[in-house]
Amino acid sequence: MQIEEALSRYVVQLQADGRSEHTVAQVRRHVQALVRWLQSRRLSGAIEELSHEVLAEFLSSPAARTRPDGGLKKATSVNAMRSSLRTFGGYVAAAGYSTSDPARLVRRARCGTAPPRGLSTDERARLLAVLKAADGSEGQRDFMQFALMLATGIRLGSALAVTAEDVDLNAGELRLRRVKGDREEVVYLSRGIRAHLRRYLGEQDEGPLFTTRQGTTLTRRQAARRFRMWANAAELPSTASPHSLRHTFATSLYQRTGDLFLVQQALGHSSIASTVIYARAGRSALRGVMESAS
C-alpha cells in the first residue's frame, strides 16, 4: 500500500474520531511532506519503505526543518511534525498496513512553551480605533466580530457560528454552539459589548451575525483576510492573528484577577495545563513584589 492511500484512510479515521479540522489538515500536511521527500530520494512511497531509520533521516533533513522561505522552523513546529508522524505510524501498524510501527522510536524534543502572542494595550487600542472608524456594513461587521472576540476570548470558529438567537442581551449571555470538542458553552458579556451588540443587531432576531454581502456566513479564510487588512492599518506585528485576540483577552483577565482558574473557566479549557501559559503575564507583578521586599 502507498503512503498516500494510507493517509487518506487515516484522515477518514481522524474525522470519524471527531478530531478537529486543524488537526486533520496538520497531519495531512506533515505526511505529505514526508511523501515528497521520499519522492526526491527516488523512493516509491510504499508503506514497506518506512522504517525508524527512514523517518529519522527525514526528520533530520532540511525538508522537515526549514520553512518555505528557507528559514529554520521553530522547535515547536518540528515537534508538531513528529507528533503527526508518530500517530500516523501507530495507525498504519494498528490497521495492519505495516508489520510494525515505523515511528515507534520518534520522540518529541524538549523545548519551552512559547508565550501567548497577545496584543499589547497600545496595539489593542490601535486595532479598535481603526475598526471603529470603518465605514459601511462590512466595517461595522468586522468591528463587532473582533470586538466580541476581544471581550470574550472566544475562538474565530465560535464567533463565526454565532446567530442572533444565541445572544441574550437581557441576561448578558452568549451561547456558543460551536466550540472545541463539539460542546456548547455560555460566555458572559460585559455592559460595553452588550451595548455594541444591541446597536449592531437592531431588529435582527434570527440568522447568523456575521455574513457576507451575499448573505452567506463569513468563512474563516475571509475573516482572517479581513483581520489582516485591519491589523496592517493598525500597524500591528505580522504575527498578529484572530487567535491573538483570545490570548489578549486571557492575558488581560489574568492581569486583572490573578486567578488562573477563573481564566481557565472563561476560556473553556478542560485542563488547567492549557491555561498555565497565561501565568507568565504575572512576571512584572513578581518583579515589583521582589524589588519592594526589604
Give the number of C-alpha atoms closer than 13 A to the C-alpha of residue 62, restricted to the C-beta side: 5
Is 134 within a domain?
yes
Q: Are residues 250 and 154 in the same domain?
A: yes
* DSSP state string for 137-161: HHHHHHHHHHHHHHHH---HHHHHT
Instruction: Indicate if 83 and 166 belong to the same structural domain.
Output: no
Considering the domain architecture, whether residues 16 and 81 belong to the same structural domain is answered as yes
What order do you get walking across the sheet with 173-176 strand by strand? 167-168, 173-176, 185-188
- Can you read off the three cell numbers belonging to residue 270? 478542560
Is 230:130 a contact under the CB 8 Å cutoff? Answer: yes
Q: Is residue 114 part of a domain?
A: no
137 and 259 co-located in one domain: yes
Q: What is the pLDDT of residue 183?
A: 67
Please name the residue that has the C-alpha cell 463565526.
160
Per-residue pLDDT of the chain (294 residues), as tens digits, is 999 999 999 999 999 998 888 899 999 999 999 999 999 999 888 998 899 999 999 999 999 999 888 888 888 889 999 999 999 999 999 999 999 999 999 998 876 666 677 899 999 999 999 999 998 999 999 999 999 999 999 999 999 999 999 999 999 999 997 666 566 789 999 999 999 999 999 999 899 999 999 989 999 999 999 999 999 999 999 989 999 999 999 999 988 888 889 889 888 888 887 788 777 655 555 555 555 554
- Pick the last residue of a domain from 29, 59, 94: 94
Q: Do 37 and 156 sit in the same domain of this protein?
A: no
pLDDT at 294: 46
Q: Where are the beta strands (DSSP E) in 123-236?
A: 167-168, 173-176, 185-188
Last residue of a domain, one of 94, 111, 130: 94
Cell 515547536 belongs to: 76
Q: Which residues pair with 211 in a beta bridge?
A: 217
Instruction: Give the chain's domain count.
Output: 2
Find how far residue 125's CA is from the centre of its chain. 23
Same domain, 130 and 274: yes
pLDDT at position 97 is 93
CATH number where 80 lies: 1.10.150
Answer whether 164's CB lies under 8 Å from 209's CB.
Answer: yes
Q: State residue 182's pLDDT score.
A: 61
Choose among 154, 157, 155, 131: nearest CA to 144: 131
Residue 128 lies in a domain: yes
C-alpha cell at 276: 498555565
Look-up of cell digits 522547535: 75
Say what the pLDDT of residue 102 is: 94
Cα 231 to Cα 114: distance, rounded to the nearest angstrom: 22
Domain containing residue 268: 121-288
Confirm if 45 and 38 have CB atoms less than 8 A apart.
yes
For 185, the 3-state DSSP assignment is: strand
Instruction: Output b/e per residue, 77-114; b: 16+ Cβ within 10 A.
Output: ebbbbbbbbbbbbebbbeeebbeebbbeebeeeeeeee
Whether pTM exceeds 0.85: no
Candidates 189, 87, 208; CA nearest to 141 is 208
Question: Which residue, 16, 221, 5, is CA-closest to 97?
Answer: 5
90 inside domain: yes
The reply to whether 176 and 272 lie within a common domain is yes
CATH number at residue 184: 1.10.443.10
